[in-house]
Amino acid sequence: MTIDSSGLLVIGKFTAVYGVRGWLKVHSYTEPMENLLNYPECYIEFKGRWQPLELAEGKRHGKGLVVHIKGIDGRDEAQAYCQCAIAIATTALPELAPNEYYWHQLQGLQVQVTSAQGERLVLGTVKEMMETGANDVLVVRGNKDSIDQRERLIPYLPKQVVKAVDIEAGTIEVDWDPEF
């Protein structure tokens, strides 16, 4: 079965084998990391194609996760899955409260600021998000439409720095000094 990757969100990847009975270590992108185990329908990018993935078991181990894929019972079989991405359908994500967004929804949005003269300026596009502990940060890179080609790190602080997010329009309005 081939899955259209446009409706999938990568939530982790297999990194290494664990033991001799087909278990694999997982690097989870979910917060908290154990949330990766809560999705009954997962997909794996194996040999260049997205395929359904059935996890038989999974648990926290040390600072990470280990999982057992149904039907994979040996170390050599499990080795073939190392570095493969794990994804879920975006429709499987829990619905968020109004004005809350998943990181993947913010990536690719154009970041804009209104100058003191009332002119709308483009700072760039959100390329990724970073977690800093205090708050999340937008990594904004200049593009052909922006005022320059600089990379800016803008704190994701709703109502303080982030004034508006419009997913449909593809924009984020910020209160940020373009020179910073």
Q: Is the pLDDT of residue 3 over 80?
A: no
Do 108 and 84 sit in the same domain of this protein?
no
User: Among 65, 92, 119, which residue terminates a domain?
Assistant: 92
pLDDT tens column, 10-59: 999 999 999 999 999 999 999 899 999 999 889 999 988 999 999 999 99
Please answer whether residues 9 and 90 qualify as being in contact, where contact means their C-beta atoms are separated by less than 8 angstroms. Answer: yes
**Does residue 47 form part of some domain?**
yes
pLDDT band at 4 (very low <50, low <70, confident <90, very high): low
User: Among 30, 60, 92, which residue terminates a domain?
Assistant: 92
Phi-psi region of 15 (alpha: psi -120 to 50; beta: other; left: phi over 0): alpha
**Does residue 140 form part of some domain?**
yes
Do 83 and 123 sit in the same domain of this protein?
no
**Does residue 179 form part of some domain?**
no
How many structural domains compose the chain?
Answer: 2
Do 42 and 76 sit in the same domain of this protein?
yes
User: Among 60, 92, 124, which residue terminates a domain?
Assistant: 92
**Does residue 154 form part of some domain?**
yes
Do 12 and 80 sit in the same domain of this protein?
yes
pLDDT tens column, 109-127: 999 999 888 899 999 999 9
pLDDT at res. 1: 32
Domain with residue 117: its CATH number is 2.30.30.240
Give the up-direction half-sphere exposure of residue 123: CA atoms within 13 A in the CB hemisphere. Answer: 25
Q: Spell out the residues 6+ positions from residue 117 whose beta carbon is closer than 8 angstroms to its own.
A: none
Domain of 30 in residue numbering reads as 5-92
Sheet arrangement for strand 85-89: 49-53, 42-46, 85-89, 8-18, 23-28, 64-69, 55-61
**Cα gap 107→138, rounded to integer Å:** 9
Query: Rounded to the nearest 5 degrees, what angle is found at the Cα of 158, between the Cα atoms of 165 and 99?
Result: 50
Do 66 and 122 sit in the same domain of this protein?
no
**Does residue 18 form part of some domain?**
yes
**Does residue 146 form part of some domain?**
yes
pLDDT at res. 109: 97
Domain with residue 88: its CATH number is 2.40.30.60
Do 75 and 110 sit in the same domain of this protein?
no
Q: Which residues of 115-140 are buried (b: 16+ CB within 10 A; e: fewer)?
A: eeeeeebbbbbbeebeeeeeeebbbb
Q: Is the pLDDT of residue 2 over 50?
A: no
Preceding omega of 155 cis (within 30 degrees of 0)? no
Structure tokens at 41: 């329908």
Do 78 and 28 sit in the same domain of this protein?
yes
Query: Rounded to the nearest 5 degrees, what angle is found at the Cα of 109, between the Cα atoms of 106 and 112?
Result: 120
Q: For the residues of 112-169, what is the DSSP string, one character each?
A: EEE-TTS-EEEEEEEEEEEE-SSSEEEEEE--TTSSSS-EEEEE--BTTTEEEEETTT
Do 83 and 107 sit in the same domain of this protein?
no
